Structure 1
Amino acid sequence: MPTTTTSDNQTRLDTLIAEENQLQFLYFNQQIAWDIGSELRANAIEKHAKVAINISVGEQCLFHCALDGATLDNQEWVRRKSNVTKRFQRSSWYMKHHLEMKGKNIEQASFINEKDYSPFGGCFPIRVKNTGMIGTITVSGLPQHEDHQLIVDVLSQYLKKE
Structure 2
Amino acid sequence: MSKEDDIARVKRQELELVLPSLDEGVAFEVGAAIRKRAVTEGLSLVVDIRTWDRQLFFSATPGTSADNAEWVRRKVNSVRRFQRASYRLVLERGEEPFSVQSGADPADYVIAGGGFPLRVHGAGIIGSLTISGLPGRRDHGVAVDALCDHLGRDRHDYALAEG
Q: Same fold (TM over 0.5)?
A: yes
TM-aligned CA deviation for residue 59 of structure 1: 2.5
Cα RMSD between the aligned structures? Answer: 1.9
TM-aligned CA deviation for residue 108 of structure 1: 6.3
* Residues 104 and 64 (structure 1), Cα distance of their counterparts in 2 relative to 1, 3 Å cut: closer
Ranges of 4+ aligned residues in structure 1 off by more than 6 Å: none
- Which one of 58, 61, 67 corresponds to residue 73 of structure 1? 67
TM-aligned CA deviation for residue 104 of structure 1: 6.4
Q: Give the distance between the partners of 2:15 and 2:101, measured in 1 at CA.
A: 24
Q: Give the distance between the partners of 1:44 and 1:77, measured in 2 at CA.
A: 18
User: Which structure 2 residues correspond to residues 37-116 of structure 1 after superposition, within 5 A?
Assistant: 37-100=31-94, 105-107=97-99, 110-116=102-108
Number of aligned residues: 153
Retained in 1: the 8 A contact 2:68–2:133? yes
Give the TM-score, by structure 2 length.
0.87
Q: Give the distance between the partners of 1:116 and 1:64, measured in 2 at CA.
A: 19
- Which one of 130, 136, 140 corresponds to residue 148 of structure 1? 140
The question of 1:122 aligning with 2:114 is answered yes
Q: Give the distance between the partners of 1:41 and 1:77, measured in 2 at CA.
A: 18
TM-aligned CA deviation for residue 11 of structure 1: 2.6
TM-aligned CA deviation for residue 13 of structure 1: 1.4
Q: Which moved more, 1:111-120 or 1:137-146?
A: 111-120
Give the TM-score, by structure 1 length.
0.87
* Residues 66 and 90 (structure 1), Cα distance of their counterparts in 2 relative to 1, 3 Å cut: same
Structure 1 equivalent of residue 30 of structure 2: 36
TM-aligned CA deviation for residue 9 of structure 1: 2.9
Matching residue's letter, 2:37: N
Unmatched runs of 5 consecutive residues or more in structure 1: none
